[in-house]
Structure 1
Amino acid sequence: MDQKNAKLGFQLLVIGAFAAISGCSDKNVSGMGLAQPMPAETAAVAVAAAPPARAARSATLAYEHNITVEMDKELLPTRLREIESACNADQASGCTVLDVSLQSHQDLPSGNIRMRLAPASVESIVTLASKDAKVTSRNTRAEDLAEPVADTERQLALMTLHRDRLTEFMKSKDIKIEQLIAVSKELASVQSQIDSLSTQRANLRRRIDTELLTISLSLPQREYVADASPVMDAIRYFGNDFRQAVGTVIRFLAVLLPWLVIILPGLFLLRLFWRWIGRRLARREQTA
């Protein structure tokens, strides 16, 4: 029995060491950017398969679009609501509104909406946003997630193998209570890492399978220039500026009053002191 337990403990130790060494070796290889040497036949096959490899690499790109649209003042709030409603109604692409905002500064509105949706629905939303309007800028960028996807899959496979072997150890009839507790703790830790890696993989796939679209709505530049009037702005903000000036004076008095309590008596005492000095000097001159 002792020999079996010792053998079981040794196997458990070997499995843990194998998992740790495999994880470290994977990280070191990926961090150094080195690959294992391939035989000549394997290298030839890899060279022949270069075009499909590039196609597979493009499948790991996460796209993000930023679009700026100019439109009339009356149309802007309505168009923002239309884009939001169209996204919420697009169940086929799974469109999700992440952020929407509408601002108005000096009666000049502007809006911004950000959403995540399937690639096939991007152009339809852009077409809706640019209806009776003008697209002034459009920027598309892609982030290659091939490395984090491969790293996540590698770690997930390693942790799954480690979990399966720990599960097999727990089925052994010769395992001791102490060993069972240790294996159970390790199994819980491994399962937690698997769950975290699964969530990370799902988030990466979501970024790849969907695209991030940000649409900024603004007025044409000519409307900003036409609405600008220094005289009207001064009249419009006269009350606010007057209140701020009065507040500044009040704050100044609040800071000055405590000092006046000290300064005024000090000046009075200084005046009395100079008068006393003057009288002393006058008496000395008369006695001389």
Structure 2
Amino acid sequence: MRVTFLAILMCLSLLACGKKEGSAGGGNAAEAGRTGGSNKTLAYAHFLELEVDEQKIGPMHAAAQQFCLTLQAEQCVILEAKLDTGRYASARLKFRANPAGIQKLLANLNRQGDVIHQSVTAEDLAAPIQDNQKKLAMLNDYRSRLEALRSRANADIDALIKTNKELASVQEQIESLSGKREQLLQRVETELLSVTLTPDNTHSFSQPIKQALSGFAGNLAQGVAAAITGIAYLLPWSIVLFFCVWVVRWLWRRKKATVPKP
């Protein structure tokens, strides 16, 4: 009984592998046509770079996040928010939302600054989605066969243990593939928007002067430190050079003193 049961289990494994290979050739052709026949497998990513007044970068950074929070129906989520208020202020934001939400975000941001770069890219996820669906179908069928086999293995403890172990492994693979499927579907059902805010200093006459004055103390300290470091390096070499010159001159005078006068 045990040998027969194990033989059946091995046959199920072979059938599962065979089904996987067969499905790769056209087992899910109808579903592939549905996903490939439209743009539901394209994952879009938008990029926007705005030039705004330096004083407005901070408030605009906060306002963009607040505007995203109001787009609950558009599934807007803040994925990244970075603000640098140092000497050269800048900000970076990254959002995820459905297509309507992304368009609302773009319209809101474009009104608040000068667009210096805007682009969009699309990644076709048809192949990963189809491959994921095929693997899930194969594993679900294999799990059903194992569950049917387990119901007939109650009298064989060893075979029951092996079947349960195989079922646990298959269930783990199904959960992992289901998680990847949700990620893939989220990427095609929503879009990404990366925003960069840079200061507009090209039209400000006083801005370079202000930056130079604000960095005067630091630049002065660095200059003094560099001078002190240079003196520290040059001082021992100056002593060595002075000694060498003195020796050369002493040898030269001695040589001249030993030369007889005509």
| Residues in 1 aligned to 2:13 and 2:38: alpha-carbon distance in whole angstroms | 33
Unaligned runs of at least 5 residues, structure 1: 30-34, 37-41, 47-51, 268-288
Deviation at 1:71, TM superposition (A): 2.2
Secondary structure of 2:108 counterpart: helix
Q: Hey, what does 1:178 align to over in structure 2?
A: 158
Deviation at 1:163, TM superposition (A): 1.0
| Residues in 1 aligned to 2:52 and 2:159: alpha-carbon distance in whole angstroms | 71
Residue 217 of structure 2 corresponds to residue 239 of structure 1: yes
Deviation at 1:211, TM superposition (A): 0.4
Deviations 1:173-220 (A, max 9, x none): 554111111111111111100000000000000101100011222233
| Contact 1:114-1:215 within 8 A present in 2 as well | yes
The share of aligned pairs that are identical, in percent, is: 27
Deviations 1:213-266 (A, max 9, x none): 11222233524775224xx6565434334544565678789999xx9xxxx9xx
Unaligned runs of at least 5 residues, structure 2: 244-262
Deviation at 1:105, TM superposition (A): 4.1
Secondary structure of 2:37 counterpart: helix
The count of residues paired between Structure 1 and Structure 2 equals 242
Q: Hey, what does 2:144 align to over in structure 1?
A: 164
Residue 185 of structure 2 corresponds to residue 205 of structure 1: yes
Q: Write out aligned runs for 1:185-196 (5 A).
A: 185-196=165-176
| Contact 2:35-2:126 within 8 A present in 1 as well | no
User: Residues 164 and 203 from structure 1, CA distance in 2 versus in 1: closer, same or farther, beyond 3 angstroms?
Assistant: same
Equivalent in 27, 32, 42 of residue 61 of structure 1? 42
| Contact 1:8-1:175 within 8 A present in 2 as well | no
Secondary structure of 1:143 counterpart: strand
Deviation at 1:64, TM superposition (A): 0.5
| Residues in 2 aligned to 1:114 and 1:76: alpha-carbon distance in whole angstroms | 15
| Residues in 1 aligned to 2:229 and 2:132: alpha-carbon distance in whole angstroms | 60
Residue 70 of structure 2 corresponds to residue 89 of structure 1: yes
Residue 54 of structure 2 corresponds to residue 76 of structure 1: no
Q: Write out aligned runs for 1:4-153 (5 A).
A: 5-23=2-20, 25=21, 35=25, 56-106=37-87, 108-153=88-133
| Contact 1:69-1:134 within 8 A present in 2 as well | yes
Alignment-mate amino acid for residue 240 of structure 1: G
Alignment-mate amino acid for residue 37 of structure 2: A
| Residues in 2 aligned to 1:161 and 1:228: alpha-carbon distance in whole angstroms | 69
| Residues in 2 aligned to 1:233 and 1:77: alpha-carbon distance in whole angstroms | 18
Deviations 1:146-180 (A, max 9, x none): 00000001111111111111111111155411111
TM-score (norm 1): 0.70
Deviation at 1:81, TM superposition (A): 1.2
Could you tell which deviates more after superposition, 57-66 or 214-223?
214-223
Deviation at 1:136, TM superposition (A): 2.4
Secondary structure of 1:58 counterpart: coil
Could you tell which deviates more after superposition, 240-249 or 143-152?
240-249
TM-score (norm 2): 0.76
| Residues in 2 aligned to 1:178 and 1:254: alpha-carbon distance in whole angstroms | 82
Deviations 1:99-128 (A, max 9, x none): 11122343x532211010011111211121
User: Residues 223 and 77 from structure 1, CA distance in 2 versus in 1: closer, same or farther, beyond 3 angstroms?
Assistant: farther
Deviation at 1:17, TM superposition (A): 1.7
Aligned-residue CA RMSD (Å) = 3.6
